[in-house]
């Protein structure tokens, strides 16, 4: 077997793998996210809960992200050519949808972590900020940012030597700033720190963190201290 035959065989195997894996991921992803939405919508326990609301929004966004990316892979295998590379309209719509849903999903996770930080904060006035009304406002803000971000791809996306992407230098510089590893790592470490602090407070409900950074004594220890003082 020559090298050209081996390359062609690898190409066929990769295309088949992409086709079947896309079908499996699309099928499982749709069922899983739909079940999550139904569970949090039907159950009375989660009604009016901010976390349940964010998880429903996240599942809805994941469904949109799956439908924006995977059907193109499936259609490309069936017709023998990627639709994104032959249709400018499909190219613009797919890029706009995938990047909008992706950014919206990322912001939803960040807002969920922020809500957990507020709801488990030792300051009572901060805990009162964590409401469903705030979740609605953050959702509207998230939609606005995601749409503005996606419109850039709808306007500037083209089919060129590198395929379906953005070739405008200014937009590429903007994408480099928000997608650079250094920026992503800073954002990731910031929200990981918030999640860890929130999880610590959730795991230790007796743990309070006053301004002097001392742990409040347990009731038994406090009563013993009072008796000794008397």
Indicate whether 65 pLDDT > 70: yes
Distance CA 98, CA 111 (A): 20
Read off the pLDDT of residues 70-119 as tens digits, 9 standing for 90 and up: 888 888 888 877 788 888 888 888 889 988 998 898 889 888 888 888 88
Average pLDDT over residues 113-133: 84
| Structural domain 3-203, CATH architecture | Up-down Bundle (1.20)
Read off the pLDDT of residues 154-190 as tens digits, 9 standing for 90 and up: 888 888 888 888 888 888 877 777 666 666 666 666 6
Average pLDDT over residues 39-45: 85
Q: How many CB atoms lie within 10 A of CB 23?
A: 15
pLDDT of 4 reads 67
Of 12-21, 76-85, 194-203, give the lowest mean pLDDT range. Answer: 194-203
pLDDT of 209 reads 44
Alpha-helical segments (H) within the chain:
3-42, 50-79, 83-86, 88-119, 124-127, 132-156, 169-179, 181-203, 219-229
57 — pLDDT class (breaks 50, 70, 90):
very high
CB of 15 within 8 A of CB of 74? Answer: no
218 — pLDDT class (breaks 50, 70, 90):
very low
Among residues of the chain, what percentage have pLDDT more than 70? 75
Average pLDDT over residues 127-148: 89
Residue 181: exposure state from Cβ atoms within 10 A (0-12, 13-18, ≥19)? exposed
Average pLDDT over residues 203-220: 46
CB of 61 within 8 A of CB of 150? Answer: no
- Helix H or strand E encompassing 121: none
Q: Where are the domains of the chain?
A: 3-203
Tokens standing for 43?
A: 């159950």
Indicate whether 123 pLDDT > 60: yes
pLDDT of 84 reads 80
């Amino acid at each position: 077997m020559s090298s050209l035959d081996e390359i062609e065989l690898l190409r066929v195997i990769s295309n088949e793998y992409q086709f079947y894996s896309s079908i499996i991921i699309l099928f499982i992803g749709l069922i899983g996210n739909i079940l999550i939405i139904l569970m949090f919508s039907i159950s009375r326990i989660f009604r009016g809960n901010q976390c349940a609301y964010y998880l429903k929004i996240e599942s809805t966004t994941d469904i949109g992200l799956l439908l924006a990316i995977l059907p193109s892979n499936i259609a490309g295998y069936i017709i023998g050519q990627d639709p994104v590379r032959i249709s400018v309209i499909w190219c613009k719509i797919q890029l706009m949808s995938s990047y909008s849903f992706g950014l919206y999903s990322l912001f939803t996770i960040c807002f969920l972590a922020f809500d957990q930080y507020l709801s488990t904060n030792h300051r009572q006035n901060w805990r009162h900020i964590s409401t469903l009304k705030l979740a609605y406002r953050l959702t509207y803000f998230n939609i606005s940012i995601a749409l503005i971000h996606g419109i850039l791809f709808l306007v500037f996306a083209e089919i060129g030597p590198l395929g379906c992407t953005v070739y405008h230098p200014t937009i590429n510089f903007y994408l480099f700033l928000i997608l650079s590893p250094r920026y992503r790592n800073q954002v990731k470490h910031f929200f990981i720190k918030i999640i860890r602090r929130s999880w610590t407070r959730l795991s230790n409900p007796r743990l309070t963190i006053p301004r002097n950074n001392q742990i409040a004594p347990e009731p038994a220890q406090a009563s013993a201290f009072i008796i000794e003082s008397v």
